A and B are shown apart, each in its own frame.
Chain A
Amino acid sequence: MARSKSVAQRAYLRRMMVVMVVYVLVIIGGSFAKNEGLLNDAATILVAIVSGLCVAGVFWAIGRLIVEEEDEYLRMLVVRQSLIATGFALSIASIHGFLAIFEVLPKTDLFWVPMLWFAGLAIGAASNRLKFGSWGQCA
C-alpha cells in the first residue's frame, strides 16, 4: 500500500509548518514587543523583514514542491493552481492600480498582493477540482 502523500508533498508540508510557526511567533512576539515599546528601529526592521521572508518562504516551498514532485499529474495540478493564482493576483493588482491612479480608489499597501495570490490558490484548487476532479496539493 502506497503512502497517501509523496516524498515531495511531505517535504512541502514540513517546510510550510516551519514557515508558519516562525511567522506566527514573529508576528505575535513582534506585535507584543512593539506595543510594549521594546523594539528599537533596527529590531522593528528585523521583525518586518523576517515576517516578509516567512511569506516568501511559502513561495519557496511551493516552488520546491513543483521541482521535487515526481508525479507528473500532481505536479501539473500545482503548476496550474499557481498560474491561476498569479493571474488572479496580478489582474486584481493591475485593475486596482489604475483605479488608484485615476483616484477612484485609495492606494493600498503592496502587502495585499501576496494575500490575493493566496486567495488565488483557492480559486486554482477549485478550478482543478472542476476540470480534473482533484484539488491539487496546495489546497
Chain B
Amino acid sequence: MRVNNRLKVLRAERDWSQQDLADRLAVSRQSVNAIETGKYDPSLPLAFRIAELFDLSIEAIFSSPSKD
C-alpha cells in the first residue's frame, strides 16, 4: 500500500523542476521522481522536511490511499 501525495502539484505551483526540489531537500532528483510517482514512500524525517519546505502539515501533502 503506497501513500498518496501532492508533491508534483505543489512543485508545479512554485514552478520548480524536480532538480530544484531535490536541491532544496538535499536529496537526489531520482528520489523526488520516485516519491512523486508513488514508487517510494519517504521516511518520516524526510516527510517532515518536505512539509517544512512547503510550509504545510504532513497530512496536507501525504494521505492514506484508504481515505480516497
- Interface residue ranges, A against B (CB under 8 Å): 1-2, 6, 70-74, 76, 131-134
Contacts and interface: CB of A to CB of B under 8 A. Distances in A.
Given A2-B23, A71-B28, A73-B28, A133 B33 contact: yes
A24 to B, nearest CB: 31
Interface residues of B, number: 18
Interface stretch (B8-16, B35-43, B53-61): B35-43
B27 interface: yes
29 contacts: A1-B19, A1-B23, A2-B19, A2-B28, A2-B29, A6-B28, A70-B26, A71-B27, A71-B28, A72-B27, A72-B43, A72-B46, A73-B27, A73-B28, A73-B30, A73-B31, A73-B34, A73-B40, A74-B28, A74-B30, A74-B31, A76-B40, A131-B39, A133-B33, A133-B34, A133-B37, A133-B39, A134-B30, A134-B34
A50 to B, nearest CB: 35
A71 B30 CA distance: 10
Interface of B: 19, 22-23, 26-31, 33-35, 37, 39-40, 42-43, 46
A74 B42 CA distance: 12
Contact of A72 (B23, B31, B39): B31
Nearest to B29: A2
A88 to B, nearest CB: 23
A109 B3 CA distance: 47
Q: Which of B23, B29, B31, B37 has the most CB of A within 10 A?
A: B31
Contacts of A70: 26
- B22, B28, B29, B43 — which one has the most chain A CB atoms within 10 A of its CB? B28
Contacts of A133: 30, 33-34, 37, 39
